[in-house]
Structure 1
Amino acid sequence: MNDTLEFSRSDVRRVWPVPGAHDDKYSRGVLGIVAGSEAYPGAAVLVVGSAIRAGSAFVRYVGPRRAQDLVLARHPEAVMYASTDAGESLPRCQAWVVGPGVADHPDQDAVIGSIAEAGLPMVVDAGALVPVARARASGQCAATSDQVLLTPHANELVATLRALGHDVVAADVTQDRVGHARLLAEAAKATVLLKGSRTIVVQTDGVAVSLPAATPWLATAGSGDTLAGIAGALLAGGLSAADAGASASWVHARAAELASGGGPISALDVADMIPAVITALLVDGPGRG
């Protein structure tokens, strides 16, 4: 990873959006979320919860009723939309998170397609990676590369590259993570966050940054959903895709470290620690990278 720059605590502190006296819930950035499904409703709870804890003052959630009920039970401040209604008229949002936990839901797929066609800033994860990458590669999406953040793990990177016509296997990515993240960034005309013990964020111009190593306990179900929520909050708050992805990864890793204390954690444990990490980031002086 010699050809990457280090993204540190001071970098996160420099770009993190902080509300002012004249801000309201709209000016701070409204985030739309298309996540979860009948099969994976918990993904919706994790994305919404981490976005709110990361600073989203207004979250609009689009998804099936079961997921809506679970989200409202934990986060009554979130506003619910049925996928059919959102597909006909997209709720007004500054940015979107699309794809976590979405599985075989045509109405949600249609909403994701509408968001992509509208050229809106978005964090793209899991079930939305392949269709959005294909649409961007074919020129169907108007958003610029610094407004779109793709967040695959290694296996999803392989699947997405193969869907774009590249003959890639898992061993190739293991051997050259940065190079293959750059390949996807160029092909999909988007910023790419490749998740792993050392997360990297790559822009279409080839610039790559790496994050400090995270605790291995962060490799747990739902971890990517919490990361997507943090990144979405930052994208809605006005950050570029690269700064949103790198800053979200830094906070995500520190929240996991705080929650773990050296032992096992759940994705909800990580989400619960996000406000404490942000408070320490903004209030304390310079600290560990």
Structure 2
Amino acid sequence: MTPVRRWERADVAAAWPVPGAADDKYSRGVVGVIAGSEAYPGAAALVVSGAVRAGAGMVRYVGPERAQDLVLAHRPEAVIHHPVDVAERLPRAQAWVVGPGVSDYPEQDAAIGAVVAESAPMVVDAGALETVARARAAGVRAVGAERVLLTPHAGELVRTLEALRHDVTAADVERDRVGHARLLAETARATVLLKGAVTLIVSPGGATIELPEAPAWLATAGAGDVLAGIAGALLAADLTADVAGACAAWVHARAAERASGGGPVAALDVAGAAPAVVAALLRS
């Protein structure tokens, strides 16, 4: 049995990337985001906001026009790309976030395919989990597990394992969260962040990282999109997938506490609270 490591405030403070006087927007990390859709445009704005508020030097957004407009309304500093252009030539980015809110848009699917084919470092969520996991299980993995972070919740974990021909139920996952997250990590040769009240992170052959319990108010629509954006910013800053995921989950939970004040919280408020959480972390 692999050891379990509890991820605490000191671990986050030691790992969090801090820019220096010689840095520019490129050296701080460029994040590419393929998220949102005509049906779910909000996911795009939430992922981009999470990445920006976590400290990405630049965010490039790829998606349909309705989502583009919403992204620019919330984050005018984002750089917009059309999916057709990205499918033909991937723009410069140190890491990508793919999958949140994508739905029935072939051009966007082709752009995700380009990221996979390029073997770029990536955070993979929601609508891209099965595609990326199958590709990596089939051997499309020039980039190692330490640079690919899959971020399913329990239901997505079941569906992704089923897509990889594992017969798994929700009850199975509930009984052994660590074991099934590790099964996905080993099969897809990727790091897995399993979302929940207690977030777990496992990588092939590595220790299990366990995060402190998150506030129950964080179980709200769009919260996972913000988490993906934060993790993408950290992966673009050259953290390994397990450390990026652990730091992102810790800051995400603490930002929810700050934004909620002990009551309900909305996902965009979590992104907005992230800079103050990071500032307090770095002062300690």
Report what 1:104 is aligned to. Answer: 104
Map of 1:120 onto structure 2: 120
Contact 1:137–1:187, Cα closer than 8 Å, also in 2: yes
Measured after TM superposition, the shift of residue 269 of structure 1 is 1.1
Please give the residue correspondences for 1:168-187 in structure 2 after superposition, counting only pairs within 5 Å: 168-187=168-187
**2:70 matched residue in structure 1:** 70
Q: Secondary structure at the match of 1:149?
A: strand
Decide whether the 8 Å contact of 2:27 with 2:57 is kept in 1.
no
In 2, distance between residues paired with 1:269 and 1:22?
A: 31
- d(CA) in 2 for partners of 1:4 and 1:257? 25
Matched to 1:57, the amino acid is: G
CA–CA separation in structure 2 for the residues paired with 1:204 and 1:25: 32
Contact 2:251 2:274 in 1 (8 A): yes
Measure, in 1, the Cα distance between the counterparts of 2:134 and 2:242.
20
In the alignment, does 2:90 pair up with 1:86?
no
Question: Whole-Å Cα distance in 1 between the matches of residues 114 and 132 of structure 2?
Answer: 11
Structural mapping, 1:21-36, within 5 Å: 21-36=21-36
Give me the whole-angstrom Cα distance separating, in 1, the residues matched to 2:109 and 2:141: 15
State whether structure 2 residue 164 is matched by structure 1 residue 164. Answer: yes
- 1:1-289 correspondence to structure 2 within 5 Å: 3-283=3-283, 285=284
Q: Residue by residue, what CA displacement relative to the aligned partner does 1:120-152 show, whole Å, maximum 9, x if unpaired?
A: 100000000000000000002311000000000
Letter in 1 for 2:57: A
TM-score norm. by structure 2 comes to 0.98
Matched residue SS, 1:101: coil
SS at match of 2:247: helix
Would the aligned equivalents of 2:2 and 2:207 in 1 still touch at CA under 8 Å?
A: no
Corresponding residue SS for 1:201: strand
* Residues 118 and 141 in structure 1, CA contact (< 8 A), matched pair in contact too: no
TM-score, normalising length: structure 1: 0.97
Secondary structure of the residue aligned to 1:51 is helix
Query: Match of 2:133, as an amino acid?
Result: A
**How far apart are residue 5 of structure 1 and its match?**
1.0
Q: Is the 8 A contact 2:146 2:240 kept in 1?
A: yes
SS for the counterpart of 1:225 is helix
SS in 1 for 2:93: coil
Q: CA deviation at 1:2?
A: 9.8
- 1:227-282 per-position Cα deviation (integer Å, ceiling 9, x unaligned): 00000000000100000000000000000011111111100111110000000000
Could you tell me how far 1:111 is from its partner in structure 2? Answer: 0.8
Identity %: 66
Runs of 4+ in 1 over 4 A off after TM superposition: none
What residue ranges of structure 1 are gaps of 5+ in the alignment? Answer: none
Whichever residue aligns with residue 127 of structure 2, its letter is G
| CA–CA distance in structure 2, aligned partners of residues 2 and 198 of structure 1 | 18
Task: Give how far 1:46 is off.
Answer: 0.3
What secondary structure does 1:80 align onto?
A: strand
Q: Distance in 1 between matches of 2:29 and 2:2?
A: 36
What CA distance in whole angstroms lies between the structure 1 residues aligned with 2:131 and 2:2?
A: 32
Structure 1 CA distance for aligned equivalents of residues 145 and 65 of structure 2: 33
Three-state SS of the structure 1 residue aligned to 2:120 is: coil
Q: CA deviation at 1:203?
A: 0.8
C-alpha contact 1:32 1:59 (8 A) present in aligned 2? yes
Q: Distance in 1 between matches of 2:59 and 2:165?
A: 36
Letter in 2 for 1:144: G
Q: Please say if residues 116 and 142 of structure 1, whose CA atoms lie closer than 8 Å, have aligned partners that are also in contact.
A: no
Cα RMSD for the two superposed structures: 1.1
Q: Count how many residue pairs are aligned between Structure 1 and Structure 2.
A: 284
> How far is the alpha carbon of 1:206 from its aligned partner?
3.7
Deviation at 1:208, TM superposition (A): 0.5
Q: Distance in 2 between the 1:277 and 1:152 partners?
A: 24
Contact 1:29/1:236, CA 8 A, preserved across alignment: yes
Deviates more, 1:264-273 or 1:121-130: 264-273
Q: Give 3-state SS (helix, strand or coil) of 2:193's partner.
A: strand
Kept after mapping to 2: 8 A contact 1:182/1:206: no
CA distance in 2, matches of 1:97, 1:199: 19
Find the residue that maps to 1:112 and give its secondary structure: helix
